[in-house]
Each structure stands twice: as structure tokens, then as C-alpha cells.
Chains A and B, each alone.
Chain A
Amino acid sequence: MSTTTFRKHNVLPGFNISLGYTLLYLCLIVLIPLSAAFFKTYEMGWQGFWATVTAPRVIASYKLSFGTSLLAATINAFSGLLIAWVLVRYDFWGRRFIDALVDLPFALPTAVAGIALTAIYAGNGWIGQFFEPYGIKIAFTPLGILVALTFIGLPFVVRTVQPVLEDLETELEEAAASLGADRLQTFLRVILPAIGPALITGFALAFARAVGEYGSVIFIAGNVPMVSEITPLLIITKLEQYDYAGATAIAVSMLVVSFVLLLIINLLQGWTKKRREA
């Protein structure tokens, strides 16, 4: 047995060249350029870095970016679970069409999504006009940012929960029902724990994407400093003022958060996989 395993990974050619090329390309395109951001910040020194990333305008942008992203990911968690459930469990006219269309936010360029959402959620837009009489402005306020982030995060939860829900055996639900659980109890006690890891993974993915999102947000946000200015926009603003060090410092603070999120997502995905295999 051990000899077959040993041979298994040695008869095939091309290990050195394929791994070598992979590492080279990875370093040239991703790792070395990313390290440039950290080197640039290192030149600034800790004091300069800290002063830049804790300036009131930057803090306001963090609060806005992380706050709206958290809210959008929460909306995505609920609506994504609902959509995944409906797609897996029910048969209705147009189901396959909707299933395909769920991925639209992945495929639609963010700038297009941005101007389309702005047009319909503006005060005179198709949807915005219904809110305008009540004094609710959506476009050009933080509420607009929430709409854009909800749009781009939509497919994540659906696509992580859907396969787990499809794998779920109905025997468990039958057993729960036969033991006297009503449908809501079965959902809360049997189904939800089973799809829990996938749901949290989808939530984390949507959140990570929302924090860095730029294209769809800038059109609808209004971009008022301290009020509706997201962190990625602040990086661009600093760049346009030729404040490369400032832009990089903010970028590094965001990168650190992204790396932590990536680590958490990896752990979550491992957890989901283990659950599905068990």
C-alpha cells in the first residue's frame, strides 16, 4: 500500500516545472507587489503610520465601511438563506432562470451596478420615488451604500448554503417530525445547525467583499467626507493628492483586516467541509 502511494505521486511528470512556474507567477503578480505596500509603510515609521490611520476622517470611513458591510452581510445572510431554501426546496415557474440570475452581481461590472442602482434608488428613480415622500433618501446617503453592498454580496450566502441544503437528508427531518417536532422546531433545531457553518462562511465572504468594494459604491454614496466616504475611496482621494504614504498606510490597515478575514474564512470553510463529509 505504501509503495503504491509512493509511486502514485512520482510517476507523473512536470512537478518541478508546474510548481516552479506557479510560485514564480504568484511572487511576481501578487506577493512582491503586495509587499511593496508594507515596505512603503515601514519607511513612514510607526508614529506616522498610526497618526495617518487614526485621523478622524479615516476613523469615520472605517466606521462607515465596516458598519455598512456588517449590515449588508447580515441582510445577505437572511435573504441568501431564504433564496437558497426556495431554490432547493420548492419547484416553481422560472426557478432555473432565477437560479442562474443569482450570480448576476458576480458577472455584472461594478460600475454598471453602481449607476443602475443610483438611477433607480435616487429621489426620482423607479424605487426611490416611493421613499422620497416619507423623507427617506436612499441614493447619496449611507443607506445607498448599504443597497450597493447588499447587491454585490447577494450571491455569496446563496452559493455557500445551496449545496449544503441540497445534501441535507430529509430522513433527519422526518425523524424530527415523527418525534413530534413542528416544522419551525425542525428548522431551528435540525436544519439550521446543519447549514450553520455554510451560512457563517457565506456571511464572512460577503462581508470581506463588501469592505473592499469600490466601483458600485462610489456612484450611489454621495462621497461626503465624514458622512458617506468609504475607506477605499479615501485611498483614491489620497492618491489623487499625491499623498502616496497616506494612501498606503490606510491600504495596509485594510490589508491586515483582509488577511485576518481570509484566515477566518479558511477555518470556516474547513469546518463546513468537515461537517459535509461527516
Chain B
Amino acid sequence: MAGSTTMATTSTLSLHQAPGAKGGSSATTEPAFVCWLLIGSALAFLTLFLFVPLVAVFVEALRKGFGPFFAALVEPDAVSAIKLTLITAAIAVPLNLVFGVSAAWAIAKFQFRGKQFLITLIDLPFSVSPVIAGLIYVLIFGANGWFGTYLQDNDIKIIFAVPGIVLATIFVTFPFVARELIPLMEAQGSEEEEAARVLGANGFQIFWKVTLPNIKWGLIYGVILCNARAMGEFGAVSVVSGHIRGLTNTLPLHVEILYNEYNFSAAFATASLLALLALVTLGLKSIVEWRSAKLIDADAPTENIQK
């Protein structure tokens, strides 16, 4: 033990001569060249795997100039793909939002048996391959599926039509809102809601005036992520779509068709639209994270008193 004390003095001394990074004492950081080496290799990796692909999408999209770029986006098949993508998201996201809120309310505000199991089941779609997500709806609604004959007799099309695309999209985006809200609402507890109840508020009022303002940012966060995935889903939608141009093609499927026809500039022009959506998603996500962090850091103690 006596030996270690002397060692400590020398090692602290030698460490003190090394320049530190991001505050902290020099005992808890590395020499400057190690810092820069680590930062450098992290940036190199991110450049190879993130920046270059992202930049490539836009460069390839504009390779033939702005004329062909816009022409590829206003072409009728592209426009109908954009429309279908928007319609799909407009149906899938609100449905999963209602589900997410209702699941989070039941799970976070009440105690019941099998709660943990229910949370696992809600997460299930995340661990199912998108291709399988499409396949299971084919097994139910396809020509040879459970309801195949019934649907055919009544001339209802689900697979290779818009309803199938919407269903597959709902499946793959199923957990997004719920998994954002459950931990958030569990952490917030239910004291405020109970107070509102005691003061005579009904369920709707409690949710609208007490719960919703508290979970606002988490809710927006979940919706943003859910929307990004809904608009960008490829595998699941690909299985149920049937790839009928102008009818059952979403934007990602349109990208695939153009690409397989070696129409690269049009494929990348359409892809750039989706890449832009991804960047907007990341931007909004950062803003939401920043806002909610600020709320927790500064306003939380005073806000509770004021409201």
C-alpha cells in the first residue's frame, strides 16, 4: 500500500503535464495526441459510412443538372408515388399515435399483471424483418390467404393495393410512439393527474390539460420518428405492393424501379427527396431534444409551481 501512494504521486504528476479535453482533471483524460487520434478515427469512420453516402445522394441527383432533376420529380408516376406516400403516412401515423397514447396511459398510470410482457409484445414489430411483416398480411389477405376467397367474391383488394401498403406500414411503425411515451410517463408519475381528479376534472380534461402538456415533446418526438419510418419503409411495402406504377408505388418503391431501369439520375432525384426528409427529421429531432432538455434543466422546478 505504501508503494502505491508514491506511484500515485508520480503518475498524477506525469498526467498533469498532458493537456486535457472538455474540462475535468487531467487524471480523467488522455494526452492530446490520443484525443486527436480518437476524434480523427471516429470522424474518418463516420465520413466513410455516413457523410459520403449522404452527399452522394445529392451529387448523383444533380449530376445532369437541375432541369432533369425537377423533371424526374414532377413526372406523373413520381407525383402519384409522392401522393401515396403522404396518404399512407397520414393514415398510419395517427393510428399509431392513438395506440401509443392509449398504451402509455394504461401502462404508465396503472399497475397490472403481465405489464412487462405487454411492453415486450409492443416492441415485437421492431425485431421482425420487414419482409416478414409484409408476408404475414399476404398470408391473411392474399388470394390464397384466410380471407382470400371472401375478398375476391366481394371484389375487395387489400394485397397489391393501397390498404395492404397501409397495413404493412402500420405494422413496421407500430411501437414508435408507444415506446417514446411509456418511459416518459412512467418517470413523470401520476401525482398531477390525481390532483386534477381530486379537483373535479374528468378523464378528458385530465388528459388534455395535465398529461398532454407534460408529454408534448416526447409525443412530437415519437410522431417524427414514426412518420420518417412510415414514409421511408421499403421491405414490408415491397412485399404487399405489387409494384403497379402510378397506383401502388410509394416513393421508396419508385426509387427502386427507376434504379433497376438504370435511370440513375431520376432514381437519385427521387431518393434525394427522401434524404431531405431524413435530414428534416434529424433537425426536428435535435430541436425537440434541445427543448425538452431545457425544460428539464431549468423550468421544471418553477414550472410545476406556476401551473
Which A residues fall within an 8 A CB radius of B?
Answer: 8-9, 11-15, 17-19, 21-23, 25-26, 29-34, 36-37, 40, 79, 82-83, 85-86, 89-92, 96, 98, 100-113, 115-117, 119-120, 126-127, 147, 150-151, 154, 170, 173-174, 177-183, 208, 211-215, 219, 232-233, 235-236, 239, 244, 247-248, 251, 254-255, 258-259, 261-262, 265-266
Contact = CB atoms under 8 A, between A and B. Distances in A.
Contact of B105 (A14, A127, A150): A14
Contacts of A211: 129
B271 A111 contact: yes
B77 interface: no
A31 B238 CA distance: 21
- 9 tightest Cβ-Cβ pairs between the two chains A and B: A109-B232, A212-B129, A215-B234, A214-B235, A180-B7, A13-B203, A177-B27, A107-B278, A19-B106
A108 B132 contact: no
B46 A83 contact: yes
Contacts of A147: 49
A171 B256 CA distance: 53
B233 to A, nearest CB: 7
A90 B279 CA distance: 25
A258 B127 contact: yes
Chain B: number of interface residues, binned into ranges: 35 or more
Contacts of A173: 27-28
A212 B46 contact: no
Interface string B54-84: 1011001000000000000000000000000
A33 B233 contact: no
A261 B127 CA distance: 8
Contact of B110 (A12, A83, A214): A12
Contacts of B124: 30, 34, 262
A210 B14 CA distance: 45
Given A79-B45, A215-B130, A37 B136 contact: yes
